[in-house]
Chains A and B, each alone.
Chain A
């Protein structure tokens, strides 16, 4: 028997809708069997990364790259003793570890030595304006001088090894190109010595002056080594000895 509605309020209508939920019969088993057969033949799709995640993580990665670039850019101008200098130094090592040809590596070494020379020049100029010597200043002096020595030694060690390898293959042209780099390095080493001597003369602390003097001697030895190495042409060692 159908019940025809009179004018019903919304609430009554909603009650009616809620009260008259009815399940319908269907071939549950048959559909299930068909479904199980289908899923055996149908693989699950690969995990789809939601676009929201791509956006969020992509933004985070982009921000990290921007920050890293900004940090490296800022660090590139830092000098020994500065807060960001270790990052700068790390960046230099990364570049030197790249698979580049001998001449490029040698040039990079030269550029680094040149950077240290500029740091020494900057330090010398700052000291000309400083009235008083402080532990911070002495610390900076020592670090800058040591870095100068280290980079020069690293350069000559690398280039000497490169020349040895090239001599074995009798590559005169490349050896001569490296000799030109060595000549430039020797010139840079001479300038470094001059700067360090000036810094040493400003240093009042005896211990610091002694350490600077020690570094200076070592740089002088390296400079001689660079000079000697730059004179060795692209001939075999046996021929040189003869």
Chain B
């Protein structure tokens, strides 16, 4: 469990142009950001490139970051990651083709677990990006509705509606794929 207090201290140091403090922030948060990116991009090198972009944007925009009560730094970082992903998606591709994606089980820490539920990940990959994002943030990253709303720049009601539609769409995909 990442200590938010530690991260905020590191952020304050990094805002004074302390590269070492920023490197420590990277160490603490890189894994979750990478998981978020790879699960949607399904291509390792692209995900790593975008990881670099996300953290570089975070460094550049750090001076304008202001800690808010009940809001984590990672929420801000996820926001940058989400918009970086949207920008990339807009320029590169609109739909995920199953044939071009990589088999992510080779990168998973627990490949057997991944393969066991590969049908689930494939179904998710066929959903629109916003559905994938809300499912990822709400259930895989286990973020609250408020945090998810902040990351996706939507209202909390909007997130609940989006989540409901995403789950419904996923169910349809699973049923369609199984039949």
Q: Which residues of chain B from 162 to 179 have a CB within 8 Å of any chain A CB?
A: 167-168, 170-171, 174-175, 178
Interface 9-residue window, one of A10-18, A101-109, A121-129, A178-186:
A10-18
Interface residues on A, range: 35 or more
Which B residues between 2 and 52 are near A, CB-CB below 8 angstroms?
Answer: 15, 17, 19, 22-23, 26-27, 30-31, 34-35, 38-39, 44, 47-48, 51-52
Determine if B114 is an interface residue (Cβ-Cβ < 8 Å): yes
* Chain A residues positioned under 8 Å from B118 (CB to CB): 2
Asked whether B100 is an interface residue with its Cβ less than 8 Å from the other chain, the reply is no
The interface residues of chain B lying within 8 Å CB-to-CB of A48 are 63-64
Query: Given A18-B140, A45-B61, do A24 and B171 touch, yes or no (CB 8 Å)?
Result: no
Question: In the complex, which residue of chain A has the Cβ closest to the Cβ of B164?
Answer: A10
Considering only residues 1-46 of chain A, those with a C-beta below 8 Å from chain B are: 1-5, 7-8, 10, 13-14, 16-18, 20-28, 31-32, 34-36, 38-40, 42-46
The DSSP consensus for interface residues of chain B is helix
Inter-chain contacts of A5 with B (CB < 8 A): 119, 174-175, 178
Residues of A within 8 A of B47 (CB): 26
Asked if A1 contacts B116 (CB within 8 A), the reply is yes
Are A35 and B52 within 8 A (Cβ)? yes
**9 intermolecular pairs with C-beta atoms under 8 Å apart:** A3-B119, A4-B178, A16-B120, A18-B139, A28-B31, A32-B23, A39-B22, A43-B60, A44-B62
Contacts A20-B120, A44-B59 given; 19 further ones with Cβ under 8 A?
A13-B167, A21-B35, A21-B141, A22-B35, A22-B113, A23-B31, A24-B34, A24-B38, A25-B109, A26-B44, A36-B19, A38-B52, A38-B59, A39-B19, A42-B56, A44-B60, A44-B62, A45-B63, A48-B63
Spell out A's residues near B (CB within 8 Å).
1-5, 7-8, 10, 13-14, 16-18, 20-28, 31-32, 34-36, 38-40, 42-48, 50
